[in-house]
Amino acid sequence: MKSTYQAGAMSHKDDRQAEKEQLAIFCGIGRILTSSLNPGEVFRRVMRLIGEHFSPRNWSLLLIEQGSGRLRFEIAMGIDAERLKDFRLEPGEGIVGWVCEHGEPLVVPDVQGHPRFSPRLDQHLGFVTRSVVCVPLLNGTNKVIGAIELINKIRPATDAQGRPTTSEGEPFTELDMAILSSIASFTGIAAENAFLHEKVRELAMVDSLTGLSNRHYFNEVYRREVRRVQRYGHSVCVLMMDVDDLKRVNDNHGHLVGDKVLTILAGILKDSVRQSDVVARVGGDEFVILMPMADEASGREVARRIAERIETWNGKSLLPGVRLGLSIGIRAAGPENVERLLLNADQELYQSKDLKKKPEELTSAEQMRDYLSRTLAGDD
């Protein structure tokens, strides 16, 4: 009788311990989901907590790629996890593929002989999967965007010399699946909110017509680059640009054609710069390129590439009656004069525009003097 009582008490104690552990993990999830609006950070923190609670040998968060529908390992943790970085699973492949296709969780205590198990991952990593629990990752509209998969429970152990090690634990259970499903539900909604926040922030930084960065983003990056120049002493180059005769294009061909001109020029600018450069549309017909760690010669080389691409486009007569043109002001600066960089580039831009004008279009004595001096210099 005493033994039965002791067994019951022990069972009750185990139940209370399990409840405490579940409460702890959900409290942890709550803190994670309210602590960041960065999707990657939300995923990483959730996955670390999952690893601590479930003790899997390997565990992964997979997302469905748009277009191909394949599953990529957004986050992979555990032994040899780095080898999964470029690995992809085909739509419907394996247990995780089935879970994503059907939107239902699945626990498999022993995968050997299971019809939905695919050995391709085992072959890639060189280990044996025994037990799997996998749950779908759903967004706020209950659409499956990926899955969380845990492979092989492990438990602490010691080797023959008494050193700490691990050994295969018990299979995953229905309770594990239920807890993991709840975690995935909260995570999916939080991730969607984070993605939406990121998208809104991105849209606030992008020009809707051309897809280039907008003035707000350029100003932010420019201020940061000025601080770098002042701190580290390197140079930075800016190209200020203005579309030639855009008003005439709008008046003669309509604003849709004018918008087309802007998008074509935006594409030419993007194709002409380095990956580290920032290209932005900062006004109706105004563009700017920010070139970190570049001198004026580098800026003039970019301007040359832009001019060549514009000339190539004009030679194809893709828009009848329309010729593309850009006036460009180029200036570079170091720590001693970076504060005046935009002003100097802007002045260079308007000198460039004045040079393109016909004498009868000049409106001041200063413009005429500049026009004559540049024309005579060109003749020399």
Q: What is the pLDDT of residue 192?
A: 73
Q: What is the pLDDT of residue 10?
A: 44
E strands, the chain, in order: 56-64, 71-78, 88-89, 106-108, 132-138, 144-158, 164-168, 213-214, 236-243, 278-281, 286-292, 326-333
What's 83's DSSP letter?
G
Question: Closest by alpha carbon to 181, among 211, 142, 218?
Answer: 142
Q: What is the pLDDT of residue 168?
A: 72
Mean pLDDT in runs of 10 for the chain (380 residues)?
A: 47 59 71 68 86 91 92 92 91 96 96 92 90 90 90 75 66 92 82 70 83 92 92 94 93 94 96 94 95 95 96 90 93 94 92 66 54 51
Task: Characterize the bridge pairing of strands 213-214 and 278-281.
Answer: parallel
Any alpha helices (H) in 103-173, and if so which ranges?
Answer: 120-125
Question: Closest by alpha carbon to 345, among 238, 271, 260?
Answer: 238
Cα gap 333→341, rounded to integer Å: 6
> What domains sit in the chain, N to C, each tagged with a CATH number?
16-204 (3.30.450.40), 213-379 (3.30.70.270)
Q: What is the pLDDT of residue 188?
A: 78
Residue 65, SS3 per DSSP: coil
Give 226-255 as a DSSP string.
Answer: HHHHHHH---EEEEEEEETTHHHHHHHH-H
Output the six-digit token pair for 134.
Answer: 């996998």
